[in-house]
Amino acid sequence: MALFKYAAPASFYPLAGMLVPWFATIAFLLCVIGLYLGLFVAPEDFQQGEVYRIIFIHVPTAWMAMFIYLVMAGYAILSLVYQTKLSAMMIEALAPTGAMFTALALLTGALWGKPTWGTYWAWDARMTSTLILLFLYVGYIALMNAIEDKKRADKAGALLVLVGSVNVPIIYFSVKWWNTLHQGASISVSGGSKMASIMLWSMLIMALACWAYAIAVALCRVRAIILEREKNAAWVDNIKQAKDG
Amino acid sequence: MNKSVNKSVNEGVNESANVNLDANATAAPLTLRAESLTLIRGERTLFEDLSFQINAGEALILRGVNGVGKTSLLRVLAGFTIADGGQVTFYNKKQVPLGAIERALTRYVSHANQLKDGLSAEENLHEALLLDAIASTHQSRLDALNKVGLLAQRSIVAKKLSQGQKRRVGIASLILCRKPIWLLDEPTNALDDAGATLLLKAVDQHLTDGGIAIVATHLSLALAQTSRTRELLMHEITLKTRH
Amino acid sequence: MSHAGVKPKFETTPLDTPEHGLLVAAARDLKLAMRSRGELMQALVFFIIVASLFPLAIGPETAILKRVAPGVIWVCALLAVLLTLPRIFHQDYEDGTLEQLALSRYPLTIICAGKMIAHWLTTGLPLALLSAVIGMQFGLSPVELGVMALSLLIGTPILTMLGAIGAALTLGVRGGAILMALLVLPLYIPVLIFGTGAIEANMAGLDATPNLYLSAAIFLCGLVLSPFAVAAAVKISLD
């Protein structure tokens, strides 16, 4: 129960500050290992040659895009049920990172598609769902920017994320349905889940690297959000004085 | 003549049917208790640790300059805004908290006219009362409009009424509503002296009937002199109450 | 129960039931809509005009028009609904009656449900019926027109429900209408896919019912969940 002490922005701020360097270091190390394994150790793909290696960025970023939205939904429930300001701030802190991963997934997917199928965008079911996920992220960010009153913005954003997360499985299913109806392309590495275990490991390590990166960046961003929201509080003054003095 | 008027005023009140509520839950007297209310809007603390209690038949005047937080306090009492600290509770005469039904017992009069432009004065009254589950009679609506001096305008679309006339329709709506809790935000705005007198008479009657009224105003109201009212002077952050 | 001197002013009435609340809220919005019939017609005219733009843009070749008809007509219907969404709450927000609705005897969820019913009756339903007429412009057969109308009949309530959430969230926010479209359009995609899927399946000689059932499933989910979401959004906007 002592954990609840950190639900207050004032006490979370220093904790977050302490954690950022740790997660950043973990992210960096995992990324180096993952990329080394993926780019140099993993064997050439049977059908796609060297180009397939982009999946070591594409797949983890796509996973993170989805995962971050789920985390945002979790914070949304916390924020609406327990009315904690910090939960709402975490949603705001995660959204840009989630959007970035989504955009990166789309970009790497397009770069993969060109040499493999000759087209940058193939309306593959997963890619299309990722595109829609990007719209959901952008919608949230736009809503937060448009509402001036922070209390109202927090609640509205949380509700939007909740409604969006309920819709995400429906959207994903409907896009898959649409894709099979229209005989669309399907991007995957040959062998599917039977791919060489080294490839799987690399992707997992990269995914963990992305996850650590996301935590580091979100913590950093939430610190900035806390400072901005609480700028009139006494403890913020102390920090300002400590910096100036 | 009196008989038919009384009958129409009681129209819709079913004395034996208390559909979803304990019979005593809605019957006056009511008490409103605000405990340690705190509200922060952006960078300003509008009020902090504010507590008061209003019993049936009492009125509270919120006084202060524009922007000091009167409307915000009213909206917290109405349940629209959730305070950053403290709570507002309504109790019935058995000192049992009312809970969700307090929403249905509250009438909030805002700066906006709260009229549908496309409906006539009488239709506006009808629709407003329907929302309170009251099937008002034609006669009762005419009586109310008559009381506020708008009988001749009863069929005119609200869009075509003057601002003062629109506010008077609002007073008629207040008179007809069966709600014990009145939250009035600058109710004398756009009312001439006659209109203001009408309003204060209505509030007086309401207090006599055992209701509660909380009125925000930056003017002085004739109501303030009676023994049933208290004042809450709102300053920036610091507050005073006096009886 | 009324004795001399004791006024039975604040008691309950038999009109207190939720069903009656639904009726009151829907009838209210319908009455108001009838008073500004011009606005209603605008949405339908928009639908007709925009749907007519496509043959003008693509060319009158029947085969192509027939191929694109389900998607085009569905998207036009979707956009027409989008145009009418602010109407659900905007006027009430502006003239202060939204506060009255929030303080009504009936729960806000019931009021919102009634409003959504009224909105669908004045937009979705006419659009679904009108689509059959527009579909003729695109060379669809009577059976296909029937499937189109049916898919819209099932789909447009979902558009209303999701749209109402967006409309309620963006009340009084600057850039409201465009922002609302941004929020709501991604959520519309499944409805669009199943709606057009039904018509295309029928056109291909396949069974349209799987798509229609899926649409109906979303409709039922929305029916149960959306009043709560909309009411929550309204309460947030009243803050």
Q: Do C190 and A173 touch (CB under 8 A)?
A: yes
Domain containing C119: what range?
Answer: 18-238
Is C9 contained in some domain?
A: no
Domain containing A200: what range?
Answer: 25-178+196-236
B48: distance to nearest CA of chain A, Å?
15
Is C65 contained in some domain?
A: yes
Query: A81 at the C interface (CB within 8 A)?
Result: no
pLDDT at B21 over 90: no
pLDDT at B19 over 90: no
- Tens-digit pLDDT profile for residues B130-155: 998 888 889 999 999 999 999 998 89
Quote the mean pLDDT of chain C.
91
pLDDT at B5 over 60: no
A214: distance to nearest CA of chain C, Å?
24
Query: C32 at the A interface (CB within 8 A)?
Result: no
Closest CA to B199 of B81, B109, B85: B109
Spatial separation of the C-alpha atoms in residues B12 and B128, rounded to whole Å:
14
Q: Look up residue A150 and give its two tokens.
A: 């922070």
Residues of A in contact with B42 (CB under 8 A): 149-150
Torsion of CA C157, C186, C74, C32, to 10 degrees: 40
Residues of C in contact with B179 (CB under 8 A): 10
Q: Do C96 and B18 touch (CB under 8 A)?
A: no
Name the least confident of A44-48, A196-200, C215-219.
A44-48
Q: Which of A24-28, A49-53, B94-98, C15-19 has the highest mean pLDDT?
A: A24-28
Residues of C in contact with B132 (CB under 8 A): 104-105
Query: A234 at the B interface (CB within 8 A)?
Result: no
Residues of C in contact with B18 (CB under 8 A): 11-12
Region C68-81: mean pLDDT is 96
A78: distance to nearest CA of chain C, Å?
15
Spatial separation of the C-alpha atoms in residues C18 and C113, rounded to whole Å:
11
Q: What interface predicted TM-score (ipTM) does this complex get? A: 0.89
pLDDT at A13 over 50: yes
Closest CA to B235 of B86, B37, B63: B63
Region A4-17: mean pLDDT is 83
Identify residue B105 by its one-letter amino acid code: L
Region A182-208: mean pLDDT is 71
Residues of B at the A interface (Cβ-Cβ below 8 Å)?
A: 41-43, 82
Region C14-43: mean pLDDT is 90
Spatial separation of the C-alpha atoms in residues A196 and B14, rounded to whole Å:
78
Look at chain B and count its residues: 243
Q: What local confidence, expressed as pLDDT, does residue A188 receive? A: 59
Spatial separation of the C-alpha atoms in residues A109 and A107, rounded to whole Å:
5
Is C134 contained in some domain?
A: yes
Is A187 contained in some domain?
A: no
> What percent of chain C has pLDDT above 70?
94
Q: Do C173 and A146 touch (CB under 8 A)?
A: yes
Region B171-190: mean pLDDT is 90
- Tens-digit pLDDT profile for residues C11-23: 555 677 888 899 9
Spatial separation of the C-alpha atoms in residues C43 and C31, rounded to whole Å:
18
Q: What local confidence, expressed as pLDDT, does residue B30 receive? A: 84
Name which residue leads in pLDDT, B232 or B109.
B109
List the single best residue of C74, C89, C151, C183 to mutate versus A (max A Cβ within 10 A). C183
Spatial separation of the C-alpha atoms in residues C20 and C32, rounded to whole Å:
18
Question: How many distinct structural domains can be found in chain A?
Answer: 1
pLDDT at A193 over 60: no
> What percent of chain B has pLDDT above 70?
80
Q: Do C187 and A164 touch (CB under 8 A)?
A: yes
Q: Do A37 and A202 touch, CB atoms closer than 8 A?
A: yes
Question: How many distinct structural domains can be found in chain C?
Answer: 1
Q: What local confidence, expressed as pLDDT, does residue B235 receive? A: 60
Q: Do C104 and B28 touch (CB under 8 A)?
A: no
Quote the mean pLDDT of chain A.
87
Where does the pLDDT of residue A64 fall: very low under 50, low under 70, confident under 90, or very high at 90 and above? very high
Element housing B122 (H / E): helix B121-131
C-alpha distances (whole Å) from C151 to each of A169, B61, C30, C192 are: 21, 57, 24, 10
Quote the mean pLDDT of chain B.
79
pLDDT at A44 over 80: no
Spatial separation of the C-alpha atoms in residues C161 and C225, rounded to whole Å:
9
- Tens-digit pLDDT profile for residues C44-66: 999 999 999 999 999 889 899 99
pLDDT at C167 over 80: yes
Region C146-168: mean pLDDT is 97
Residues of A in contact with C200 (CB under 8 A): 181
Q: What local confidence, expressed as pLDDT, does residue A122 receive? A: 79
Q: Do A135 and C186 touch (CB under 8 A)?
A: yes
Q: Which of B14-28, B150-164, C114-128 has the highest mean pLDDT?
A: C114-128
Is C173 contained in some domain?
A: yes
Q: What local confidence, expressed as pLDDT, does residue A103 receive? A: 97
A150: distance to nearest CA of chain C, Å?
11
Is C104 contained in some domain?
A: yes
B239-242 and B229-234 strand pairing: antiparallel
Q: What local confidence, expressed as pLDDT, does residue B238 receive? A: 37
Is A191 contained in some domain?
A: no
Region A213-228: mean pLDDT is 93
**What is the SS3 string spanning chain A?**
CHHHHHHCHHHHHHHHHHHHHHHHHHHHHHHHHHHHHHHHHCCCECCCECHHHHHHHHHHHHHHHHHHHHHHHHHHHHHHHHCCHHHHHHHHHHHHHHHHHHHHHHHHHHHHHHHHHCCCCCCCHHHHHHHHHHHHHHHHHHHHHHCCCHHHHHHHHHHHHHHHHHHHHHHHHHHHHHHHHCCCCCCCCCCHHHCCHHHHHHHHHHHHHHHHHHHHHHHHHHHHHHHHHCCCCHHHHHHHHHHHC
Region A113-120: mean pLDDT is 83
Burial bucket for residue C59 (CB in 10 Å: 0-12, 13-18, 19+): exposed
Q: What local confidence, expressed as pLDDT, does residue A224 receive? A: 93
pTM: 0.88
C169, C190, C239 ranked by CB distance to A151: nearest: C239
3-state secondary structure of B44: strand
Spatial separation of the C-alpha atoms in residues A182 and A50, rounded to whole Å:
30
A17: distance to nearest CA of chain B, Å?
25
pLDDT at B9 over 70: no
Is A15 contained in some domain?
A: no
C185, C218, C229 ranked by CB distance to A170: nearest: C218
Where does the pLDDT of residue A185 fall: very low under 50, low under 70, confident under 90, or very high at 90 and above? low
3-state secondary structure of B6: helix
Residues of C in contact with B117 (CB under 8 A): 95
A162: distance to nearest CA of chain B, Å?
21
pLDDT at B193 over 90: no
pLDDT at A183 over 70: no
Is C180 contained in some domain?
A: yes
Residue A115, C-beta contacts closer than 8 angstroms, at least 6 positions apart: A48, A51
Is A188 contained in some domain?
A: no
Region A86-101: mean pLDDT is 96
Region B65-84: mean pLDDT is 89
Q: Do B130 and C24 touch (CB under 8 A)?
A: yes
Q: What local confidence, expressed as pLDDT, does residue A134 receive? A: 97
Residues of C in contact with A149 (CB under 8 A): 239
Is C6 contained in some domain?
A: no
Is C10 contained in some domain?
A: no
Name the least confident of A57-66, A229-238, B31-40, C62-71.
A229-238
pLDDT at A104 over 50: yes
Q: What local confidence, expressed as pLDDT, does residue C13 receive? A: 55
Where does the pLDDT of residue B181 fall: very low under 50, low under 70, confident under 90, or very high at 90 and above? very high
Q: Do C176 and C94 touch, CB atoms closer than 8 A?
A: no
- Tens-digit pLDDT profile for residues C205-233: 999 999 999 999 999 999 999 999 999 99
pLDDT at B227 over 70: no
